[in-house]
Amino acid sequence: MNRRLMAVLAAVVVGLIGVVAVMIYASSADARAVAGQRPQTVFIAAKQVPSGTSAADAVAQGLIVSTQAAAKGVPVGALSTVDESTGKLLALTDIAPGEFVFASRFGTTPLGQKAIQVPGGQVAISVALADPARVGSFVTPGSRIVIFDSYPKDAPAQTRVLLDDVLVIAMGATSLTPAASADGQASTAAGGAQSATEAVLVTVALPPDSAARLVHGTQTGLLYAGLRGTDTKANLSQIVSGSTLFAK
């Protein structure tokens, strides 16, 4: 009889322990859920923050703004406060608009000013083109061009489209995203006037594989650029040579 009673008591105790454990887990889960929903202060870049800008200046100029976000949606390391100590730190690199601002993006020594902004995943390549080969002065930073290649450089040569849609990010010293000068104003100086035969650097942004083709073209052929119109479609398979120049 005593053994049966003890067995019953043991079962009751085990059951109570299980109930308590479930209640504790549920309470802990609820607490975590509530904590995840609690608003937390974070900073987001409202405008581009140039490298070398102090955190305090970025706030004062409205380049970065504080907002409230659910704690579970805030990435680890996000900047949550700009005070007397953090306000003196400088942006190590440019910070693009729309980014969460991480504390690690600020430090004591910036990595340097960028003269141009290269789109993510692409590389900047410069080619020297005279006026006729770059549509006179009508190609500007932000233009989209077609690049033709006549190869080999010596006759007889053939010409075809090398790259059919290329973004120009700089012309000479004028870039699509000018670097800030010492007085904080954007510098857009393009240098002196160029003659029709004097080559000017045209800097374009390309994926790495297309950049390799352009580099090879500069070494083996003669390049010529055309300004793209709306919905222009280049014939990549067309080859023009002495024998096909007048073909219909």
234-243 pLDDT tens trace? 888 999 988 8
Q: Residue 21 falls within a domain, yes or no? A: no
- What are the tokens at 231? 């919905």
* Domain match, 101 and 131 both: no
Q: Residue 239 falls within a domain, yes or no? A: no
Pairwise CA distance, residues 3 & 9, whole Å? 10
Which residue in the block uniquely carries the two structure tokens 């699509």? 176
CATH number for the domain harbouring residue 87: 3.90.1210
* Domain match, 143 and 102 both: no
| pLDDT at res. 192 | 38
- What is the number of structural domains in the chain? 2
User: What percent of the chain is modeled with pLDDT above 70?
Assistant: 73
* Domain match, 94 and 143 both: no
Which amino acid does the sequence have at 33? A
Say if residue 156 is preceded by a cis peptide, omega within 30 of 0: yes
User: What percent of the chain is modeled with pLDDT above 90?
Assistant: 28
pTM surpassing 0.85? no
Nearest to 147 by CA among 131, 172, 165, 135: 165
Pairwise CA distance, residues 22 & 28, whole Å? 10
Q: Residue 131 falls within a domain, yes or no? A: yes
Domain range spanning residue 72? 39-107
Q: Residue 115 falls within a domain, yes or no? A: no
Q: What is the band of 221 on the pLDDT scale with cuts at 50, 70, 90? A: very high
In terms of DSSP H, where are the helices of the chain?
A: 2-37, 55-60, 208-220
157-167 pLDDT tens trace? 899 999 999 99
| pLDDT at res. 58 | 92
